[in-house]
Structure 1
């Protein structure tokens, strides 16, 4: 019997590596002779790089760039051969700020563009940027500024490259932008467009700290800026990821937007690994409507062989999601066993996951007509 353990992280609780290890231990108790392969994943959101590094040999390095507040910041990246990977969330990730500290229109993303130029100078040929889990809605103009772009208002004043300046931008100057010879990819964890009701402002703005009265004005400002860049970009799937960083990578850096989980599965040679898998266990902190839009569990299930059974084990499950079979998942099990506050649920996540993993494994063994002991 072959089992692939492929969970994403349980945000604010357990890393993908930890989840995979706990589930692997639970299932090995029930199926001691099974071949259990631990393949923690990410889908472009925070933690993707750590998950990849568990399965792909990469070298970790650090470069000094401008931080979210304009101060020097030591930014992590990983590389192998002539390819480099880094995450937006390492510079300006939502978990870095309490709810009271969240100011998505004020934080800077300039350091991301600076790092791209530094990596290009080092000879890197391909750069993959994981852009999930960000704390900004700046349309990626900070990133563009890091590449050398400058933004001016109608009076010719140089603007601060943050979300609060979006509505004031009247002219974009690219005279200081060097030639970009590196291929740049926006690795997205969602397929939302940049503008409109399904866009960066309306869907993700509130959780990042955008006030209700700022949603429409920010959305309009994003559209206004990209009318100057490429008016088709705001409607491209995935362009709204990272507060609009994906649109910026495509528009200002002539990069490509790619679906995060598919990218990760390709790197992990998933199609080959899954050929003989009897079970594929997926999961994340919360299964909800965003998950159904193609995050890690669903992305894995949709690429899994028909001969494999995909089971999801998650922190919690949104009541609005009723039928997982439409997405290739046979069943989904939340680990919360009794009513509890969020803090209590996070604190007990490990023991709850152990219990649930063991029970699910026992159920599977009982349901199958033969033992794999």
Structure 2
């Protein structure tokens, strides 16, 4: 059973340490968000290869997340978090040695394994720690760690790249990953392990499917936004992620708290509609003004959807299956990013940016319509 779930305060020692470790993990990750496509082009990669290299990172995490979630329940949250962070750190140290598309592709597989383990374990830790009656709020506050990292990381990485080179960029990213590992070491285990746990959580499938439609569009943004911005004459595409992240920071905690009071679907549905609208705006953007308007709308929508879906997921599963449920949910998130990078990358290659982002918006809107039309068990819980 959880040791800390009944505490009324959100800001326990372990909550703070887990959030800080997650912040530095995401900061390291976001150092590559808009710079990696440029690096791939530098070593001779095509647009479709960019999508493949970005996508394989999340696909490797997807393939292992169900097993990771099961091991989080069987062996405990902390040990999986530490192992994941260690693999992530080693991967960051190796980027400067990749000089071909093939070697970079193989490294991205390893990097995705570390990412999948660390993020699944950290999210499960927070789910254990969060007071049940403040679960949505807790997920919103915890999510701000990754949002602050997003506000800083992409723009800072472009500044460093313009001033130095990729070797310096990769070294700083590895240093930040090391800090994440050091912050995780004092974290306490939150549960007694459960030797018999499921590989997949059927209770997690509905919220996971909704998350998939959202993260599909995120894949097209993280993979191709820097190229889109360059085409439109926008010097630093990192500003999109800064606006997106600042908006998320302002919205997430309030959105999670609202879902605690009003109900999950009353927050999720408007969020999905806003995401769809943001992608339509982005598809028509020809200058900085619309570019930033799309970032604002995307941040509002994502900030409403993500913490509310995570809280709904935790509402529906038992303590002993929580790791498996988080594995299923985060696998769906990663699968969406990977599929968005690869499939929408092919759409981009043949039809262009406008069609790609418009199609992404329609996919999210379809998910919202399914949620509106849903009834029965899933709908009542929301």
Q: Normalising by the residue count of structure 1, what TM-score does the alignment of the two structures yield? A: 0.23
More helix by share: 2
More strand by share: 1
Bigger relative contact order, structure 1 or 2, given CA contacts below 8 A and separation 6+?
A: 2
Q: Normalising by the residue count of structure 2, what TM-score does the alignment of the two structures yield? A: 0.22
Q: Which has the larger radius of gyration?
A: 1
